[in-house]
Amino acid sequence: MELSELIEVTRVRDAFMRKGPRPAQIGDICIFGHHLIFAPTTVSKEVPDNSEEFWLLHKAVDRVLCEPISKENPQRGGLLALKCKNFLMIIFEIGDLEICRATARTIEALSNINGFLHDYAFFYNSPFTILDDGWSAFDPEQEFARLMLSTDAFRISSVNENFTVCPTYPEKLIVPKGIGDDYLRISATFREGGRFPVLSYFHKETRSPLVRCSQPLIGPTNRRCREDETILNSLLTLNRGYIIDTRSKSSATAAKAKGGGAEPLGNYRQWRYIQCPIPRQREIHDALTRMVDVCSDRKISSDRWVSRVGQAGWLTAVAASLEASANVAQCFYSEGLKEVPVVIHGGDGLDSTLIASSLAQIILDSDARTIRGFEAVIEREWICAGHPFSLRNNHCAYAEGTVTGPYESPVFLVFLDAVHQMISQYPMSFEFDENFLIFLFEHAYASEFGSFLGNSEKEKKDNGIRKKTVSLWSHVHHPENMKQFVNVCYDPTAGVIWPSIAPQCIKIWDRLFFRWQRPDNSWSKPETETIQSLADHWKLREKELTAKASSLRRSVIELSRELRVNSPL
């Protein structure tokens, strides 16, 4: 299929952009295979920046609406509304209603192409020189080599070569050293989707492993797998371990009736079983829809607005994610013990499991709070771990796909919002700021880069994504790009940071939900400039005081010498 076959209208002249990312103005709409381009024909002298073209990926459009400006007088033309996945709303007035409808059909078709093989990432030519190839920046063998500096209790396995054991796992996995590949294959038949236990993270301070998998297929008949029990028991050394289930008790019980379930304590006697429920993917999807709706409503009272924010459930989902991950982190420090293994799973191990495992690492490890460390967490715990980005992010808050609708959910955005809460509570402990999180959110839904394409490493390999596209990390690692994400107040905090989940500490992410509602659509420039100027001032002041302190030390040393010379024996 050629994208040109879907284009009914290539250019709309003298369209009036009533609402959008810039003040209202007149211009031409040009439609190409991957982009909509708005080229202004009238430029305000007061806002000279508006002379630039505005480019929008069709993939970034969530929903397209078209209606006449006046139902009584269709000759006045039509309104074309584009609701985007990053919550931007663009409204055009087009003089001819039929052209408006044809434009709407064109954008609707181009923004809802099934699959990702026609995405812009396959046609994008990088305008910058790639100094650090993002596709090779987080190699599993390099990760294993760093792990070997801390422990020799694990090995790297190729049991999933060609994705024969588990289609959602990568080909190389880190597993307990004393466990053979045959045990892993048998365990895969006992776990949902073949997701047998693999190492997610090793906590150096307590020498404790964090392992993730999917639910065991116990079923109504209480099926047992001794090989799976052996794998988990091989993690035990000095103390009992913890199994964290990210489902509610009712969800786990319902799963057992359908063939899933949880580990029977009688078979896993050396393990404590704890439930730390995180909302399911459908609950998260509906919560975001309600949250975006209430944040866009300016016609209700403040009391009613606060009530609707609470009823939306989005902040509840973020708080539950932080609580579950904090409980995971606390298990490593339980009763002051060391070498306490922790296993995490939910249902299929593709959503809430990854939220808990990745947030726990950010809580525990200061390296995960650097830009590269955070990228490594996303690469290892989300992209390589098989989170189905193309399914989950096919639509956002305004629409649902005909085919992918039941599988769509902003699970990754819950993770980013939870990280934002931690940045709000520990603003100097992260090398990056919320601009980096918003950047990742937007590229997870529509991007010229290939990092978030596909639903697994298998799909990436089958479609040659790593060879045919540019990695998002290549863009981020370029010095000119990285500097826009750096937190100028960064002061590394060694060790653990414990997030608060008290209601007054969980805040609405204003730059995400209200970003496009300011008259000038600007959040970052004034505040960033102020922070940068303050940081520069205090850095200069620090240098002055350091120089003064050094001068005083030298004076003290010289005076001490004179005192010794002049003092009588």
What is the C-alpha to C-alpha distance for residues 267 and 271, in angstroms, rounded to an integer? 9
Percent of the chain with pLDDT over 70: 94
374 falls in which pLDDT band (50, 70, 90)?
A: very high
245 falls in which pLDDT band (50, 70, 90)?
A: very high
| Three-class secondary structure of residue 486 per DSSP | strand
Helices 371-378 & 352-364, crossing angle to 10 degrees?
Answer: 160
Give the range among 227-236, 358-367, 431-440, 524-533 with minimum mean pLDDT. Answer: 524-533
Q: In the chain, what are the domain boundaries? A: 3-113, 140-507
The residue type of 238 is: L
Q: Average pLDDT for residues 341-367, to the nearest whole number?
A: 96
The answer to whether the pTM exceeds 0.95 is: no
* 453: pLDDT strictly greater than 70: yes
Region for 65 from its dihedrals, namely left if φ exceeds 0, alpha if ψ lies in -120 to 50, beta otherwise: beta
Closest C-alpha among 65, 58, 91, 94 to residue 78: 94
| Three-class secondary structure of residue 456 per DSSP | coil
Q: What is the pLDDT of residue 532?
A: 61
Q: What is the pLDDT of residue 535?
A: 64
What is the C-alpha to C-alpha distance for residues 448 and 125, in angstroms, rounded to an integer? 9
Instruction: Quote the DSSP letter at residue 216.
Output: B
* 286: pLDDT strictly greater than 60: yes
294 falls in which pLDDT band (50, 70, 90)?
A: very high
225 falls in which pLDDT band (50, 70, 90)?
A: very high
Tens digits of residue pLDDT in 251-283: 999 999 999 999 998 999 999 999 999 999 999
What is the C-alpha to C-alpha distance for residues 454 and 465, in angstroms, rounded to an integer? 8
The residue type of 219 is: G
**DSSP string for residues in 179-210:** --HHHHHHHHHHBGGG---EEEEEETTTTEEE
Tens digits of residue pLDDT in 524-546: 454 556 666 666 677 677 778 88
Tally of CB atoms within 10 A around 368: 23
Contact (CB, 8 A) for 35 and 106 = no
Q: How far is CA 262 from CA 53, 199, 412, in A?
A: 55, 19, 25
Tens digits of residue pLDDT in 117-133: 999 999 999 888 888 88
Q: Average pLDDT for residues 37-52, to the nearest whole number?
A: 73
Q: What is the pLDDT of residue 402?
A: 84
What is the C-alpha to C-alpha distance for residues 555 and 562, in angstroms, rounded to an integer? 11
The residue type of 79 is: L
Q: Average pLDDT for residues 187-201, to the nearest whole number?
A: 96
Task: Please tell me the number of Cα atoms within 13 Å of 268 on its side-chain side.
Answer: 25
Better pLDDT: 3 or 167: 167
Q: Share the mean pLDDT of the chain.
A: 91
Q: How far is CA 139 from CA 40, 154, 170, 376, 379, in A?
A: 45, 17, 11, 10, 10
Percent of the chain with pLDDT over 90: 73
H or E element at residue 479:
helix 479-482
Contacts of 367 (CB under 8 A, 6+ apart): 373
Quickly list H helices, 234-379.
249-257, 281-295, 302-312, 314-331, 352-364, 371-378
Tokens of residue 101, six digits? 């409808």
Tens digits of residue pLDDT in 305-332: 999 999 999 999 999 999 999 999 999 9
H or E element at residue 38:
strand 35-40
What are the beta bridge partners of residue 203? 208
Q: Average pLDDT for residues 449-453, to the nearest whole number?
A: 96
Closest C-alpha among 198, 201, 203 to residue 169: 198
Q: Average pLDDT for residues 26-42, to the nearest whole number?
A: 93
Tally of CB atoms within 10 A around 188: 25
Q: What is the pLDDT of residue 492?
A: 87
Contact (CB, 8 A) for 282 and 308 = no
47 falls in which pLDDT band (50, 70, 90)?
A: low
Instruction: Quote the DSSP letter at residue 15.
Output: E
What is the C-alpha to C-alpha distance for residues 81 and 72, in angstroms, rounded to an integer? 20
What is the C-alpha to C-alpha distance for residues 103 and 1, in angstroms, rounded to an integer? 20
* 569: pLDDT strictly greater than 70: no
What is the C-alpha to C-alpha distance for residues 440 and 472, in angstroms, rounded to an integer? 9
CA 214 to chain centre: 20
Q: What is the pLDDT of residue 220?
A: 93
Contact (CB, 8 A) for 470 and 451 = no
246 falls in which pLDDT band (50, 70, 90)?
A: very high
Q: Which CATH class is domain 3-113?
A: mainly beta
46 falls in which pLDDT band (50, 70, 90)?
A: low
What is the C-alpha to C-alpha distance for residues 205 and 495, in angstroms, rounded to an integer? 9
